[in-house]
Structures are given as C-alpha cells and as structure tokens.
Structure 1
Amino acid sequence: MPWPEGEGGYLIQMLFKEPVAMPDKEKMTAAMEKHIGAVKCFCYDKKTAGFAALEHIAEFKDGKAPVQLMVMGCSKFKGKGFDTFLMSQMWDCQEDRERIFRECRYQVVAADMLAAALPALERANLDADFLEALAELYPTCEAFYFQNCGKLFLAEDVRSHQIEGPDRFIRFGVNVRFFNTKGTEDMLIDTLGMGTLFLPDLQYHFHGMDPNWVVNHAYNAASYILANDNPIQDGETVDGIVNGKMSREIQWKCRYEEALVQPARGVLDIHMGEFAAGQRQESTCN
C-alpha cells in the first residue's frame, strides 16, 4: 500500500518467515505507551490495530486531531516489486537481502497517519519511537523494510542500535544511494526519504573523491537539515570535505534542482567545487 512520498504515511514493512498473530490489545497498548507516551487504542481486531498518539496533535484548517499509528494484520509477502535497481541500494543488508526475500513469506505493515501535519522534528522522533515499539512487539520479525527510502535492515540491527533522538529517523528512514555514471569516472550520491518530512533530499555529482567521504557528508548534512528545519537557502554554502572530514576551509554552493535519478523530486544539489561533475551542475552553480 504505497503512499506518495511526503503526502502519506511513513510505511514500515516487517518481514517474517512464519505467520504471526496480532499481539494482544493490552500488550500493544503497553508497548506503545512505553515508547511513545499516552495513546488510545481506537480499533483492534485480527486485521487492524489503531492507536491515537495523544501527545502528538496534528493541526488542520478545520481542527485538530491526534496522529494515528496503524498496524495491519499478518498477510502474505511475495517479494515482488524489488527489482535490481531497488536491491542495489540496500547497503545495510547486502549479504542477506536475497535470502530475506527468498525466505520471508509473510509481512506486517505499519504506518503513521495524519503525521504529515506535524513539524518535521516531532514526526521524525514519533516515527522512530513507533519503530522501537514495533520491534519489541514482534520478536520473530526477520527484517524491516522502509518503503519511503528503500532501506532494508535485519531486525537485530534495528533492535540493537544505540542512536538517540531524530538521528534514528536518518538511520532508518533516509537512504544514501550511490551510482556510477556509465562510461565515465563520474559518480552520483543522493538521499531518499527526507521528503517524507517535507525536507529536501541531497544530491552530489562528482569525481575524484572517495565516495565514502561523500556518503558521510550526506548523512551529516541530512541530520543538520532535520535538526534545524532546513535553514539552507538557494545559493548558500555548506562546509566541504578536507581529508575525509567536514571543514569550514572549503565551502560548497547549494542549489535547489530536479533530481538526476528517480524518483522525480526536488533536491538540494551540492556543487563540490573542483570535484564537481556534469555540465548541468557547473552551469547552474558557478
């Protein structure tokens, strides 16, 4: 049940080898309260469980309502729709991704609703709290797939992380992707998933630099944008990279452009100075 990015829910698919029952209503409520705060279960049966997050209020023109957290009953998972393009960017589960899609035949889907009306930082923390509640409620879950960004994780990696605050959303809800440009030495790195929070994804088109340095820069920049509600304006600069580390000595100019790689969306393109590639960036960012 895909939603358009930035317009619908933050979608979490939990994958299982065997069918799993909906946890007891009381158990689900207790786990939600433990991780999220005050909740009210407004629907519960074998097919659907819904919880109102009473401390997270979405405001609309015609009124206010608490964000809803929905958990669907177990259904069959056929593993379709995961083509070579999507699987090539599942960096966190490279050794296990084919096995997971082969062995996991069942899924439980969870999503937030009405959360698009929340401030980005509040939604990021709520979605991360929701994920931790789900990881506790479904101990037989084999893997988590995050449809908004295309990341796949072994369940044990979700349960054992030591990240705090909104960077949890960056870890699981934002994917830094890597592409080689065929026939050249040019590379492209972008992020996918920031649009869920109505924040810009990032894009780097470059050559001559270790791509791992750029991946780290992208995660740091995404974290900064989320923590500060996107303070970067068109034409402003961000710290560049010197010897693998972000440095104020180098400033890279930013422009809002259309993404070079699907899906179609606006991105914050970071022009990497002497390492920049592509006439498109050079003509718009000089």
Structure 2
Amino acid sequence: MSNKVFQQNLNDKKGPQPGGPYLIQMLFKEPVDMPDKDEMTAVMEKHIGAVECFCRDKKMAGFAALDHIAEFQDGKCPVQLMVMKCDKFKGKGFDAFLMSQMWDCQEDRERIFRECRYQVVATDMLAAALPALERANLDADFVEALAELYPTCEAFYFQSCGKLLLAEDVRSHQIEGSDRFIRFGVNVRFFNIEGTEDMLIDTVGMSTLFLPDLQYHFHGMDPNGVVNHAYNVASYILEHDNPIQDGETVDGVENGQMSREIQWKCQYEDAMIQPPRGVLDINMGDYASGKR
C-alpha cells in the first residue's frame, strides 16, 4: 500500500476519452526489430481471423481486421490495427498517482520503469464504432497476437486504464472471452480517504467501450472483497451490454463472497476521483460512506 497523499483533481482532463483508442505500450530492455510482414500477418490471422496488411515500412505496420466492420453514417470499413516501430521509452507521464495504482506489478513496477528503455506502441483505429463486446474481444485478441510477436517484451502498459502487467502474465493467463478485456483493459483502483476511515474503490477503462466505470465509497469492509465485486460487476456489464438502470440493485458481498441475500443500490453519478467520467456508484448499504 502506498502512503503517499494525493489530491482529488477533477479539473485534470488528461484521462481517457470515452470510446478513445485502445493504446498499448510494450516495454523492452533492448531495442527490437519489427517482425516481417508474413510473420506479422500469420500471427494476426491466428489470433484475430482474416486480416490484410495495408502498410508495412520502417515506421509502422497496419492491418485491416476484415471480420470487424466499423459502420458510419457515410459508409463502412474494417477496423485497423496499427503497430509502430521500436522507439526510446523515457518513462515520462508516469507520475506517482498513476504508479500507486499499478497493483498487478507492485513488486516489479520500479524495476520495469528503471530497466525498460524501449517501447513499441500499438493501437486500434475506428474500433469505437463496434459493439462493446466485439471491440473487447478484438482488442484482447490483438494483445495476445502482440505478446506472441514480441517475445522479448517485458511488460504491457494499457494507457486507457493505467494498468501495468508483466508480459509473462499476459502470455500465460487462462482467461477466456471478453473477461480478457477486463483483465487487460480495466484497472480497479483503491484509495484511503485521508482523515477518515473511508475507502474508495473505482474502475478505469470501461469508458473505452462506452460503458460505465464503477465506484464504491465505503468503510468497515475488507477492500479485497470489494475489488473482486468490482471485477465481477464490470464483467457482467460488458457481457450483457450494461443492463443496469439507475436505482436498480446488484448482489452485495457477505463474508467476502457475492450474496443474493444482500442487495446494493446503483446510481449514475460523476466520478469522485480523476479522471472525470460518469460512473455507476454502488451504495453498499450499512458500509456506505458519504451522502448519495
């Protein structure tokens, strides 16, 4: 747990934009060459399905995901997946606030930022036009293709949610379907609120899919059970295209497990902690803090 004190700052507009690009930073100790066109195409097809390489030069490679069609008012075209050339990584923009919420790499984050001096950036384009579940699966497929294409990658940083994962954790996971997006693309954050017994847990990353992030403001409960609850509710929202209406309830937590006996009320609000975004606030009944 970090003991640093951070200021609430909802004027900081730097956060991810709803529906924005899914930006992936792969971090390396040594410079790495871009794989050749045939290898890239073969690995992309294995993970993503039919692709067409529409550019491959010293600066970048671009692939059209032919099974994933973005439809706009004036026409339609395949989603594009872009991979940039290897570049220097200076670690800029990673402030103490962001670093404090990299729970998946607590032991390794300092070492990664110290040792990794190179990066390869990859992103999707036009994917905001896809249904949430389709985009979630495509982005997760893309991550898995990149993990195979770049075996010397040390870590993945997902800019839209502030999550840092060791590359070996990305390669070895046993998760299936859209829960992979929750694993890679959604970060559950934890804060103690100074001068009180209150805690705040929220998610970042759901807004990439135009879905609501979650927020819990509470006291008197083990936060680990609330973290698990957040991941479960995020998974449910993604899988069912957010069926939760303002004022409805979700199963709560009892003795660390989700329980139908306890119902927690949901309400759409603005986030209490940056980045500014709409959240589904979950009122934890007897454990709830603050006014709703």
Q: TM-score, normalised by structure 1?
A: 0.96
Name the CA distance, whole Å, in 2 between partners of 1:99 and 1:247: 40
The one-letter amino acid paired with 1:107 is Q
2:33 — aligned with what?
21
Deviation, 1:9, is 1.1
Task: Choose the corresponding residue for 1:241, options 253, 258, 264.
Answer: 253
> Are 1:30 and 2:45 matched, yes or no?
no
Task: Choose the corresponding residue for 2:85, options 58, 73, 97.
Answer: 73
Against the structure 1 CA distance between its residues 3 and 188, is the aligned structure 2 distance closer, same or farther, given a 3 Å change threshold? closer
Are the equivalent residues in 1 in contact too, given 2:15–2:276 (CA < 8 A)?
no
2:207 — aligned with what?
195
SS of structure 2 residue aligned to 1:248: strand
SS of structure 2 residue aligned to 1:195: helix
Name the CA distance, whole Å, in 1 between partners of 2:141 and 2:184: 12
> Are 1:209 and 2:212 matched, yes or no?
no
> Are 1:45 and 2:57 matched, yes or no?
yes
SS of structure 2 residue aligned to 1:260: coil
Name the CA distance, whole Å, in 2 between partners of 1:152 and 1:4: 16
Are the equivalent residues in 1 in contact too, given 2:156–2:167 (CA < 8 A)?
yes
Are the equivalent residues in 1 in contact too, given 2:45–2:51 (CA < 8 A)?
yes
Q: Deviations over 1:251-273 (max 9, x none)?
A: 11100000000000000000000
Are the equivalent residues in 2 in contact too, given 1:3–1:9 (CA < 8 A)?
no
Against the structure 1 CA distance between its residues 190 and 255, is the aligned structure 2 distance closer, same or farther, given a 3 Å change threshold? same
- The number of equivalent residue pairs is 279
> Are 1:110 and 2:119 matched, yes or no?
no
1:232 — aligned with what?
244
Task: Choose the corresponding residue for 1:119, options 131, 139, 150.
Answer: 131
> Are 1:141 and 2:153 matched, yes or no?
yes
2:7 — aligned with what?
none
> Are 1:178 and 2:152 matched, yes or no?
no
Q: TM-score, normalised by structure 2?
A: 0.94
Name the CA distance, whole Å, in 2 between partners of 1:85 and 1:52: 36
Q: Deviations over 1:32-91 (max 9, x none)?
A: 000000000000011110000000000100011000000000010000111111000000
> Are 1:97 and 2:109 matched, yes or no?
yes
Task: Choose the corresponding residue for 2:162, options 127, 150, 162.
Answer: 150
Name the CA distance, whole Å, in 2 between partners of 1:57 and 1:267: 29
Are the equivalent residues in 2 in contact too, given 1:200–1:266 (CA < 8 A)?
yes
Name the CA distance, whole Å, in 2 between partners of 1:100 and 1:80: 13
Name the CA distance, whole Å, in 2 between partners of 1:96 and 1:217: 26
1:165 — aligned with what?
177
The one-letter amino acid paired with 2:28 is F
Deviation, 1:196, is 0.3
Are the equivalent residues in 2 in contact too, given 1:21–1:46 (CA < 8 A)?
no
Q: Deviations over 1:206-263 (max 9, x none)?
A: 0010000000000000000000000000011111111111111111110000000000
Are the equivalent residues in 2 in contact too, given 1:149–1:174 (CA < 8 A)?
yes
Give RMSD over aligned pairs: 1.0
Unaligned stretches of 5+ residues in structure 1? 282-286
Bigger RCO (CA 8 Å, 6+ sep): 2
> Are 1:64 and 2:76 matched, yes or no?
yes
Name the CA distance, whole Å, in 2 between partners of 1:207 and 1:151: 25
